[in-house]
Amino acid sequence: MAEHEPTPEQLAQIAAENEDDEHSVNYKPPAQKSIQEIQSLDQDDESLRKYKETLLGPVPASVDPSCPNVVVTKLTLVCESAPFPLELDLTGDLDSLKKHSFVLKEGVQYRIKITFKVNKEIVSGLKYCQHTRRRGVTIDKSVYMVGSYGPRAEEYDFLTTPEEAPKGFLVCGSYSIKSEFTDDDKTEHLKWEWNLKICKEWKN
C-alpha cells in the first residue's frame, strides 16, 4: 500500500505541535576541574577521599593521549515488542547509516539508549540532540540532558524516558534524523544522520 504523504500544511502543523515538546532543562555548567585536581583535593580527609573514590570509580591506568575524551559507540531503540534488534553501530562508517532505515511500528512504546565511553577527564553537561525531518521539513527537535560523567574503563548507557511512536496514516512514512552528542563546552563529540520508517506493522 502506498504511503499517504502529508501536505506541507500538515507537516507544518505537526512541527508546531512538537515545538514545545522538547526534553530540555535550564542548566548552568559548573566550573571545570580535571580528574587529577579533584583527586588531589582534601587528601587529609580520609572519609571524603574514600567517598570520591566511590563516586568517581577507578580511573583507567593508562589512556592513549590521542584518544578522544568522549567516544559514542552505539544508539539503540529499546522496544520490548520489536521482533529484531534496533541498533546503530556508531564506531564505523557513519555515512553508511544513511543507506538504511530503522522500522518502527506505529504507536509502540520505545526509549532511545546512547552508549558512550569517557576516557580521560570528567565531562560536564553532556546532551543528546536530534532533529527529525520529513520531506525536507523539520517537524521535531528533541534535546536530552545526559549529565556529567568521569572516566572509567566501562561504557555508560543513557536511556531517555519512554515515548510513543506516532500513529495514523499521516505519520506513517520515512523520516531523516540528524543527531549530535555535545557538552557544556559545545564540543561536538559525534554527529551522525540516520533514517526511521514508521509502519503499520513491524514487517513491511
pLDDT digits (tens, 9 = 90+) for 129-148: 999 999 889 999 999 999 99
pTM of the model: 0.74
Judge whether residue 18 has pLDDT over 90: no
Judge whether residue 154 has pLDDT over 60: yes
Per-residue pLDDT at 67: 87
Most confident of 21-30, 43-52, 177-186: 177-186
Per-residue pLDDT at 170: 85
Per-residue pLDDT at 193: 96
The stretch 160-169 carries a mean pLDDT of: 91
Comparing 80-84, 125-129, 178-182, 192-196, the range with the smallest average pLDDT is 80-84
The stretch 34-39 carries a mean pLDDT of: 55
Question: Greatest CA separation found in the chain?
Answer: 72
Number of H helices, E strands in the chain: 3, 10
Half-sphere exposure of 41 (CA within 13 A, CB side): 10
Per-residue pLDDT at 155: 96
- Three-state DSSP class for residue 188: strand
pLDDT in tens, 1-10: 445 666 666 5
Please answer whether residues 152 and 58 qualify as being in contact, where contact means their C-beta atoms are separated by less than 8 angstroms.
yes
Q: Which residues pair with 113 in a beta bridge?
A: 76, 159
For the chain, give the mean pLDDT: 82
To the nearest whole percent, how much of the chain has pLDDT over 70? 69
To the nearest whole percent, how much of the chain has pLDDT over 90? 55
